[in-house]
Amino acid sequence: MQLLKDRIRKDGKIKSGNVLKVDSFLNHQMDIKLFEEIGKEFKRRFEGEEINKILTIEASGIGIACIVAQYFDVPVVFAKKTKTKNIAGDVYTTKVESFTHGKVYDIIVSKEFLGPGDKVLLIDDFLANGKALEGLAALVKDSGAHLVGAGIVIEKGFQTGGERLRAEGIRVESLAIVDGMDEEKGTIWFREDE
């Protein structure tokens, strides 16, 4: 998606540890006009697929998922992150290792909002090592719902998540795939074939 790649080049900031900061338009301040274009593009890519629910993970996935959901006309469910050991109630839960924080946390979704018969599209801002997406896919599997695929805004193609998830048979659509970043020069390379 050219508009997105141009924006990442213009406003993205490369940080140490292979972190790309996009706080001015995606992760902190949010450019809703851009989100609308992202929503249209996911709708185009998943055209013809039956989808009745979008699943994302808090916090930065939520805003994107909500705008995207308007184009699919479906509700959004977000997996909650929790440190609580005793998880009360009827929930699906799994562990996720955070790329940005280096910690392991539990994510939960209430059984009330995900189950057999659901056809789920996963949405997230970044795909790096794939742990967040893998966690969401595990919740979908546990619930008996059908996983249609995953829509990712920015995939870091030099990390292993995308390749592994696709090898597992999950359809992953990424709107911009970053193949490399040079922190000193401030340059970013994109894969051209997405």
Smallest distance, Å, CB 81 to ligand 5GP? Answer: 10
Tell me which stretch binds ligand 5GP (CB under 6 A): 19-27, 44-52, 102-110, 136-144.
Answer: 19-27
Task: Choose, by CB under 6 A, the member of 34, 123, 127, 145 that binds ligand 5GP.
Answer: 127
Asked if residue 27 binds ligand 5GP (CB under 6 A), the reply is yes
Smallest distance, Å, CB 114 to ligand 5GP? Answer: 19
Tokens 């939520």 belong to residue: 62
Q: What are phi and psi of 66, to 5 degrees?
A: -65, -40
Asked if residue 148 binds ligand 5GP (CB under 6 A), the reply is no
Closer of 70 and 129 to ligand 5GP (Cβ): 129
Q: Which residues are within 8 A (CB) of 114 and not within 5 positions of it... i.e. 6 or more apart?
A: 53, 55, 77, 92, 120, 139, 140, 143, 145
Asked if residue 123 binds ligand 5GP (CB under 6 A), the reply is no
Closer of 79 and 114 to ligand 5GP (Cβ): 79
Output 185-189 pairs: Cβ under 8 A, ≥24 positions apart. 186/14, 188/8, 188/9, 188/12, 188/14, 188/20
8 Å CB contact between 174 and 154: yes
Asked if residue 157 binds ligand 5GP (CB under 6 A), the reply is no
Q: Residues in the site for ligand 5GP, rule: CB under 6 A?
A: 19-21, 27, 60, 99-100, 124-133, 156, 161
